[in-house]
Amino acid sequence: MATSQPGASKQNGDRFWASGKLLYRPNAGGLVTAVAPVVVVAVHVEPAIFDAYYNGCCNGTFWPLFHSMPDRTIFSADNWKAYQAVNLEFAEKTVNALRRLIETEEENAGTPLVWLHDYHLMLAANTIRNSADDLGLKCKLGFFLHIPFPPWDIFRLFPWADEVLQGMLGCDMVGFHIEDYCLNFVDCCQRRLGCRVDRKGLLVEHGGRTVRVRPLPIGIPYERFVELAKAAPPVITNKDQKTVLGVDRLDYTKGLVHRLKSFEVLLEKHPEHREKVVLMQIAVPSRTDVKEYQDLKEEMDQLVGRINGRFTTPNWSPIKYIYGCVSQDELAAFYREAAVALVTPLRDGMNLVAKEFVACQINTPPGVLIVSPFAGAGEMMHEALICNPYEINEAAEVIHRALTMPEDERTLRMNSLRKREKVHDVDYWMRSFLKGMGTLISEDGDDVLP
């Protein structure tokens, strides 16, 4: 999705504007490689509508609400209208692309798959299905939500909840990271729309069809991170100090303020770690147009300043705070050299950082992963130390335990964590989704039924 801005030259992820022309550059990565070749179609949205849609409804409403933070959620009819309009635009562009695809493909090319991603496009499937039916176009529709799906009591706060559910139920299959999110969704369909559901089989009946709901935990391009970790030059030079690492988008769901406070308590309660341990927090700027995010940036700056002011000695500062993006090489080196990774979101769909850290732990003896039970990753990565980020004092004790864990225990835990992520990588995730849709393309290009 992009608005074209003639004359501007702007880099934004994989999109470039140069002299009014919209150019595309594919990102590197397991998912992109796996789904290539993809057809890219631009969707043009007026800047004011885009702002209401993206900053307003997506990031001001769905993001906090789906992370179970209703106090931060803005409910606005205008933003919702913009969300509907943009979803409609996406749906229309998709149907046009489908029509072109079906016209140009051979007769036996199989049924095309439309795979929708994330909370930005929850309404599109229904429109695509209805238009495709009207035009006699056959397609399969799948949806994957990368963030949590909230429990009924939270979801029902959204004034236009019916439409969101109906939009998603336009699909043949809806995927979430973990079973809890699936059950929340099934529950909401039953209670809000009165659908007949099968909670055990994760099925929802709607509009004369049965929609499958599936837990499909996402993975990372594991081998690529291993290779990066092997090749990346060292980043931490002081071998007398241990690094506790945090890597996050600067987002209030990631629990950064709680994390810094826990680290402060650690230094207070366990002074033996002073001058021996550094918290390296890498925070990538995110959604900087939204006020909540500007406020968080300020709070973090102040907190880092206060804690460093309190404990810094001539030879040591307790917190190194990088507000910016680091390269993948550098990131892999930080992951490799950290003694402890702190992945302590207040709520998170999955969290890829936990998985990337584990993949990059190629040195012996390895480090320790600490993960929040409120992240999807905390549900699956059982050998990590589990830490409730809201419990500041307890979290400090968990960090202490990680820093003092014997080598053999660290090795045992890390080996199991690595084994799981190696098998359940991003390709495995994608195959599982396609298999669930009945559209797995084999090496020779044939459709393979599960």
Catalytic residue list: 146, 348
Task: Please report whether residue 349 would count as binding ligand ADQ according to CB under 6 A.
Answer: yes
Site for ligand ADQ in 26-85 (CB under 6 A): none
C-alpha distances in angstroms, 385 versus 66, 367, 392, 414?
25, 11, 15, 11
The correct pick among 267, 352, 426, 430 for binding ligand ADQ (CB under 6 A) is 352
Q: Which residues contact 432 (CB under 8 A, 6 or more apart)?
A: 216
How many angstroms separate the CA atoms of 202 and 276, rounded? 50
The correct pick among 22, 113, 284, 362 for binding ligand ADQ (CB under 6 A) is 284
* Span interacting with ligand ADQ, options 16-24, 192-200, 203-211, 351-359, rule CB under 6 A: 351-359
Q: What are phi and psi of 365, to 5 degrees?
A: -75, 155
Task: Please report whether residue 348 would count as binding ligand ADQ according to CB under 6 A.
Answer: yes
The correct pick among 95, 116, 147, 381 for binding ligand ADQ (CB under 6 A) is 147
Task: Please report whether residue 146 would count as binding ligand ADQ according to CB under 6 A.
Answer: yes
Identity of the residue, 181 or 263, whose beta carbon is nearer to ligand ADQ in the bound complex: 181
Q: Which amino acid is at 352?
A: L
Q: Which residues contact 4 (CB under 8 A, 6 or more apart)?
A: 17, 20, 22, 42, 44
Q: What is the dihedral of CA 327, 25, 218, 168, to 10 degrees?
A: 140
Question: Least distance (Å) from ligand ADQ to the CB of residue 153?
Answer: 21
Question: Least distance (Å) from ligand ADQ to the CB of residue 282?
Answer: 4
How many angstroms separate the CA atoms of 223 and 238, rounded? 28
Site for ligand ADQ in 353-412 (CB under 6 A): 353, 356
**Cα Dmax for the chain:** 74
How many angstroms separate the CA atoms of 270 and 404, rounded? 11
Binding string, residues 308-327; x marks residues near ligand ADQ by CB under 6 A: -----------------xx-
Q: Would you put residue 158 in left (φ > 0), alpha (ψ -120 to 50) or beta?
A: beta
Token representation of residue 289: 């147009």
The correct pick among 87, 281, 351, 439 for binding ligand ADQ (CB under 6 A) is 351
Question: Least distance (Å) from ligand ADQ to the CB of residue 133?
Answer: 30
Identity of the residue, 80 or 321, whose beta carbon is nearer to ligand ADQ in the bound complex: 321
C-alpha distances in angstroms, 234 versus 72, 248, 260, 335, 368?
40, 21, 25, 11, 19
- Cβ count near 291 (within 10 Å): 10
Question: Least distance (Å) from ligand ADQ to the CB of residue 195?
Answer: 26
How many angstroms separate the CA atoms of 14 and 28, rounded? 10
Task: Please report whether residue 282 would count as binding ligand ADQ according to CB under 6 A.
Answer: yes
Identity of the residue, 89 or 356, whose beta carbon is nearer to ligand ADQ in the bound complex: 356
Binding string, residues 172-211; x marks residues near ligand ADQ by CB under 6 A: ----------------------------------------
- DSSP 8-state assignment for residue 71: G
Question: Least distance (Å) from ligand ADQ to the CB of residue 317?
Answer: 19
Question: Least distance (Å) from ligand ADQ to the CB of residue 30?
Answer: 11
Residues near ligand ADQ (CB under 6 A), total: 18
Contact indicator for 43, 93 with CB cutoff of 8 Å: yes
Identity of the residue, 54 or 311, whose beta carbon is nearer to ligand ADQ in the bound complex: 54
* Span interacting with ligand ADQ, options 98-106, 223-231, 350-358, 408-416, rule CB under 6 A: 350-358
How many angstroms separate the CA atoms of 304 and 199, rounded? 46
The DSSP element (H or E) to which 384 belongs, if any, is none
Binding string, residues 218-247; x marks residues near ligand ADQ by CB under 6 A: x----------------------------x
Q: Which amino acid is at 285?
A: P
Residues within the interface to ligand ADQ (CB under 6 A): 146-147, 218, 247-249, 282, 284, 325-326, 331, 348-353, 356
